[in-house]
């Protein structure tokens, strides 16, 4: 079976004045269906660039990106939007919930773009909110929830379209340590249920909870392997180490 995510010598270069910034410099990697992978690195390492490419929010300057066997690296904006809605579920640090919509309607938003009927949207959204333990708060507004509960809503929204990949960008970054551990536990439960999780983080202690680590420095992969080895670099601990 081919990888779910595959980079073949992917580059992303930016021009800043007279300086060329090599945010991703000939990165090759693959992630199989059902893996829990942390992409980790300090600010400027290239991890956000990789996240944007994996999430079809950006395209490579050169090289090939295959998502579930499809070459998405040369698609236009409309094609990328369709792929994002079909294949990817996003969990962001700041939740990105719509403040005037109920939790049920927030979770149903991606289903509307996918063409589900109103009845189907509400039923799926209800089921997803029950999955994350918020089945009793369907009519609440985001402002009526704690940060951890809002992140659970964003996880429910990410699950709504049954995506091939759940892409979590610093999902515990805005949470206290106890709530962060609860959110990570939920991500691990989703992984145990068969979901593919790609976690983007600068925090070694968060990365250490994954099965596999891809560590980036200056746009290059410097480690790709099991989380719990000395070479993974997580023994140092602490954010940004």
Token couple for 41: 């690195």
Pairwise CA distance, residues 219 & 11, whole Å: 9
Tokens of 33: 């269906």
Ranges of residues in the chain with a pLDDT under 70 are: 230, 234-241
Beta pairing class for 36-40 and 197-201? parallel
Both tokens assigned to 141: 């507004």
CA atoms of 201 and 212, how far apart (whole Å): 13
Task: Tell me the pLDDT tens digit for each residue of 18-39.
Answer: 888 999 999 999 999 999 999 9
Provide the Cα torsion 189, 35, 240, 181; round to 10°: 0
pLDDT at position 194 is 94
**CA dihedral of 186, 45, 61, 200, whole degrees rounded to 10:** 0
* Token pair listed for 168: 């979590």
d(CA 10, CA 53): 9
State residue 238's pLDDT score. Answer: 41
Q: What is the DSSP letter of 232?
A: G
- Sheet of 165-169: strands edge to edge? 88-91, 165-169, 197-201, 36-40, 212-217, 220-226
Among residues 217, 194, 173, 24, which one has the least CA distance to residue 184?
173
Q: Is the pTM of this model over 0.85?
A: yes
């Amino acid at each position: 079976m081919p990888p779910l995510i595959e980079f073949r010598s992917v580059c992303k270069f930016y021009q800043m004045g007279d300086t060329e910034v090599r945010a991703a410099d000939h990165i090759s990697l693959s992630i199989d269906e059902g893996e829990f992978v942390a992409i980790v690195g300090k600010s400027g390492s290239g991890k956000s660039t990789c996240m944007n490419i994996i999430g079809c929010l950006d395209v490579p300057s050169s090289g090939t990106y295959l998502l579930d066997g499809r070459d998405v690296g040369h698609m236009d904006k409309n094609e990328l939007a369709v792929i994002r809605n079909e294949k990817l579920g996003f969990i962001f640090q700041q939740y990105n919930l719509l403040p005037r919509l109920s939790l049920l309607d927030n979770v149903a938003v991606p289903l509307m773009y996918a063409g589900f009927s109103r009845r189907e949207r509400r039923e799926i959204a209800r089921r997803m909110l029950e999955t994350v333990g918020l089945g009793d708060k369907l009519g609440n507004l985001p402002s009526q929830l704690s940060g951890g509960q809002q992140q659970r809503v964003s996880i429910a929204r990410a699950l709504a379209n049954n995506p091939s990949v759940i892409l979590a960008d610093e999902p515990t970054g805005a949470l206290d340590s106890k709530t962060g551990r609860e959110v990570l536990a939920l991500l691990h439960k989703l992984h145990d249920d068969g979901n593919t999780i790609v976690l983007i983080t600068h925090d070694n202690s968060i990365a250490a909870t994954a099965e596999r680590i891809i560590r980036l420095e200056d746009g290059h992969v410097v480690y790709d392997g099991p989380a719990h080895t000395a070479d993974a670099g997580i023994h140092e601990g602490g954010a940004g180490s």
